Chains A and B, each alone.
Chain A
Amino acid sequence: MLDGANAVSGEPRHFGAAWLSSSLALTAMVLGLWLWRTRFRLLLVWAAMAAAVPGAWYVLWVRADAPLQRDELSSTVTHAVRQVQRVAPWPDGGVEVVFEEDDVLYPIGRYALPTRPAVAEPKVRLWLQGSSLRASCVADAGVVVCGASR
């Protein structure tokens, strides 16, 4: 949810394999420039395919949105969206968002409430927290808290 589109490994700000990656890229470039005008230029294509295997493993197997896991992730996200929409109807629900953490429920809150006009007398005061998509929403002292399920 947070970094899935920013890097295949889900860690766009950590380049743990930087030396390996840089070495492979430089090698591919040098070999490619050398082999381009020879009959071995096909090796460049094979090198590209081989270099895509680690990322392919992540995309097809490891990531939460990999084909065999995507349905479960999708249903979890859909459930979380419905939970928030149930307690915070839009556009006429009179909802005031009093707190939202910069985490997985933030974009879900933004889908449920794309506009946030000021409400003089809110019917619902919404609090979004936590790092889990398996969220439920409960009323607590006049505030509806949506966060990790207990």
Chain B
Amino acid sequence: MTPLLGIAAAHVLGAMVLSVANGSPLRHSLTRPTGAVVTLGILHLVSLGAVGYGVLAVGAAAAWALRPTEQSEQTRWPVLLSISLTMLVLARSASPTSWDELVWLGKARLESLGFGAGVQAALDPGAHVIPPGYPTLWPSAVGWLSLGRDALNTHTRAATLLVLLTTAVALHTWAPRIERRNLLALVAAFAAPLVWVHARSVYADLPVGLLGLALLGQLLSSRDGRVGLEPIATAVVLTGFKDEGLAHVLAATGAAVLAHGRLTTQWRRLLPAGVALATAVGWHWLLNRAQVVNTDHALALPYWPWVPKLAALLWLHATDIFSWGVFWAVAAVAALRGGSALPVRALRWLVLADLACIAIELLSGPERVRVFAENGTLVNRLLMQAWPAAAACVVAALSNSLPSTTAATER
């Protein structure tokens, strides 16, 4: 029950902030799942101390610049379905069973020592937190939703709720954009067995991809770019979850700008990425001051001789029948034949940007990263981060071309 109380409190608090920032009624904000994301973004910045407060001020200024001039249409969120799904998921055994789950949930225990203890430990070289220098929000958010309780099953359930939250935010953002919903299109998008493995785990890769997809949808939500506070909060949370989160912010921002056409009229859509960059710069400034070195993700010039190996690894992983079925082949067809409607166009750009980010991360990262990729412990998780965008592209493209099974109830 504790994590449910935690996420409920985060949702209500975030909805209040959204309401003030966007000038919308509280009952409107309470129906949007992004409330909890707003709270997590604010808490993350507060946990960074003076640097975070500075970024918070920048974010508040950006939110003012992006304040909507008209009320967005209220979308009905399937509350009963969400509650039922949450109960079903939480009813399963609450124990991690994979490597990274235990390492990340271990860091969630730090928040039981006090708010911000995770950041303090990450900035203390003597604490030997691993991996050194990684952003702290994913485990810290698990600790916050656990309301300080230090128990394995509590942390697992809190992390599961975070996965559900990111799913809800992505669905809430994109479901209204799919005009002709088709169940078979959804089936094709989910015909990727490795996604089912990650959906029932508490790895951060799927949530990062889902938030990247949600950010694109949020950036497209207004014709004049006055998109409100939500994309700023999403961008900050993405940056705080993983180092790759900033890459997803930039990918979603680039996709939104390219889908709309002219950069000069799209400057507002760049503001959430600006706040995310400020968050990342602030975090790296804190790391430098504490002399903590993030050796895993230090970028350098691309190691070009590895390009053939990269192409081979991506092909082998993406076509592995057990992990992905033929999902990536279907996604490629959907991207090429999906048409030119705005949702498909934007998603096509996002998939391309995500794949480009994967290539840059692997080519420009340290040798250790390429060793991980060759050992099979990295590429599939990076593809998992790109899956939500590709799946949405499949759904949007197939929904346009297959007969509708349900009609969209709202835009």
Chain A residues within 8 Å of B, Cβ to Cβ: 1-9, 11-15, 17-18, 20-22, 24-26, 28-29, 32-33, 36-37, 41-42, 44-45, 47-49, 51-52, 54-56, 58-59, 63-65, 70-71, 73-75, 77-78, 81, 90-91, 106-108, 110-118
Give, as a whole number of angstroms, the nearest-CB distance from A142 to chain B: 22
Partner-A contacts on B (CB < 8 A): 92-103, 105-107, 109-110, 113, 121, 124, 126-130, 152-153, 184-185, 187-188, 191-194, 196-198, 200-201, 203, 315-330, 332-333, 336-337, 374-381, 398, 401-402
Partner pick for A36 among B106, B329, B337, CB 8 A cutoff:
B337
22 pairs of residues in contact across A and B, judged by CB atoms under 8 Å: A5-B201, A12-B375, A13-B376, A21-B320, A22-B316, A25-B328, A28-B329, A41-B401, A45-B187, A52-B192, A54-B325, A55-B322, A55-B325, A59-B196, A74-B93, A74-B95, A75-B93, A81-B102, A110-B130, A111-B105, A114-B106, A115-B127
Q: Report how far A110 CA is from B326 CA in the complex, Å.
A: 36
Chain A residues with Cβ under 8 A from B323's Cβ? 7-9, 55
Chain A residues whose CB sits within 8 angstroms of the CB of B324 once the complex forms? 55
By beta carbon, the residue of chain A nearest B153 is A78
**Shortest Cβ distance from A140 into chain B, in angstroms?**
24
Known pairs A45-B398, A77-B97; A91 contacts B337 (CB<8 A): no
User: A115–B129 contact, CB under 8 A?
Assistant: yes
CB nearest to A97 among chain B residues: B128
A44 neighbours in B (Cβ, 8 Å): 188, 330, 333, 398
Contacts of B377 in A (CB 8 A): 3, 6, 12
Residues of chain B lying within 8 A (CB to CB) of residue A81: 102, 152
Chain A residues within an 8 Å CB radius of B317:
12
Q: How far is the CA of A11 from the CA of B315 in the complex (A)?
A: 16
Cβ of B333 and Cβ of A78 under 8 Å apart?
A: no
Q: Contacting A4 at CB < 8 Å: which of B97, B106, B127, B184?
A: B97
A sample of 12 more A-B contacts (CB under 8 A), given A45-B187, A48-B191, is: A3-B377, A5-B198, A6-B381, A7-B322, A13-B375, A21-B321, A33-B337, A41-B398, A44-B398, A54-B321, A54-B325, A65-B98
> Chain B residues with Cβ under 8 A from A29's Cβ?
329, 332-333
Pair A114/B129 contact, Cβ less than 8 Å:
yes
Interface of A is mostly: helix
With contacts defined as CB atoms under 8 Å apart, how many contacts are there between chain A and chain B in the complex?
Answer: 218
What is the CA–CA distance of A48 and B98 in the complex, to the nearest angstrom?
27
Question: Nearest A residue to B189 by beta-carbon distance?
Answer: A48
* Contact flag A15-B316 (CB < 8 Å), given A48-B188, A52-B325, A110-B106: yes
Query: Max chain B CB contacts within 10 Å: which of A2, A8, A13, A106?
Result: A8
With a cutoff of 8 Å between Cβ atoms, the chain B residues found around residue A26 in the complex are: 329
Contacts of B103 in A (CB 8 A): 107, 110-111
A24 engages B326 (CB within 8 Å): yes
- Considering the chains assembled together, what is the distance between the CA atoms of A52 and B203 in angstroms? 22
* Cα of A89 to Cα of B283 in the assembled complex, Å: 31
Top 6 nearest A-B pairs (CB, nearest first) are A55-B193, A12-B376, A13-B376, A32-B333, A74-B95, A51-B325
**Residues in A neighbouring B101, C-beta threshold 8 A:** 5, 107
Residues of B within 8 A of A70 (CB): 92-93, 97
Q: Min CB distance, B399 to chain A, in Å? A: 11
B325 touches A7 (CB 8 A): no
In the complex, the answer to whether A48 meets B193 with C-beta atoms within 8 Å is: no
Residues of B within 8 Å of A73, CB to CB, are 97
Q: Provide the bound-state CA to CA distance between A140 and B315, in Å.
A: 49
Whole-angstrom distance between the alpha carbons of A21 and B326 in the complex?
8
Whole-angstrom CA separation of A75 from B95 in the bound complex: 8
